[in-house]
Structure 1
């Protein structure tokens, strides 16, 4: 069975966006060649992408654009070519090439996709989707890029809506020159 991986950029206090939906803080760090190479390599590593509606619409507006092709040609090429799924109860069509619309209960639809043959599924951003899926246990790995900034009460917490705790095991980590940290965790079965 293939894995469902959540790749999320979060603040030091665990927020994925400000309360008004801004995540510009993810791009305010100084340029870092190692980080840029990681982003490019990640885009070329295969897999099938999963988005919530809001992130999907933002990505679909940017990656097919001439500006994306000029500024980040390799990433744009991969983002446009990879198979994509968008989880939404309100979206009626998905126009970005290679996109399949998943309507209905996201956890059920993604669990069914995990049973199909193919590459791993990677949720990019889509903090609301990740927060909604976290309690269901459908996510197999959390790849969290911790950006060294704090939003406090101005932030939306990735795990703030969990009714119960979740045990995680660190399986990988990496520090980048710009201060970002990649922390990869796998959920563990609840004890006691």
Structure 2
């Protein structure tokens, strides 16, 4: 069975998106070689990507561009070649290569995809999708890159999750630029 993981940058006060929807804070000061090497190695391997429509719009505006290929060639190649699943009620077509649009319930659709043969699934951004998948118990691993910034308000990945599910820390890494990577698996 495929694994479902989440990868997101979060502020130290727990937000993956600022209150105004801005994500630029996650990239400020991120251009150091140590973090770039980690990002490249973490993006290696065969994965299918999962997005909500808002995250898809951000990703498709960057990764297929010549500038992305020049800036982060290995990551851009992986992002562009990977199979992608996008949940949207409004998109009718997807312009990014290897993209499948899904219009049904994310938890049910991901549970079906997870049970089918293929690469592991990685959810990027997509807070509403992350909350639904967490609530349904289909996420196996949560990877967070904590950015040393306080946003004061924003969107939490897990604000819609009921109960108090516990996770075990399986990996961590502290970067010289103050970022901390932490990977958790469901208890």
TM-score (structure 1 length as normaliser): 0.92
- Whole-angstrom distance in 2 between the partners of 1:186 and 1:41: 20
Per the alignment, residue 107 of structure 2 pairs with 107
Alignment-derived partner of residue 66 in structure 2 = 66
Q: What is the rounded CA distance, in whole Å, between the counterparts of 2:167 and 2:34 in structure 1?
A: 27
Structure 1 CA distance, aligned partners of 2:26 and 2:103?
Answer: 29
CA-based RMSD of the aligned residues comes to: 1.3
Match of 2:159 in 1: 160
In structure 2, runs of 5+ residues without a counterpart are none
Question: Is the 1:14–1:159 Cα contact (8 Å) retained in structure 2?
Answer: no
User: Residues 54 and 126 of structure 1 are in contact (CA less than 8 Å); yes or no, is this contact kept in structure 2?
Assistant: yes
User: Take 1:14 and 1:187, find their aligned partners in 2: how far apart are those partners?
Assistant: 19
Q: Write out aligned runs for 1:1-192 (5 A).
A: 1-29=1-29, 31-152=31-152, 154-188=153-187
User: What is the count of residue pairs matched by the alignment?
Assistant: 187
Cα deviation 1:115-146 (Å, max 9, x = unaligned)? 11111100112222212322111111101111
Residue 30 of structure 1 and its aligned partner are, at CA, apart by 5.2
Residues 142-184 of structure 1 show CA distances to partners (whole Å, capped at 9, x for unaligned) of: 01111111112x2212222223211111111111111111111
Q: CA deviation at 1:68?
A: 1.2
Deviation (angstroms), 1:29 = 2.0
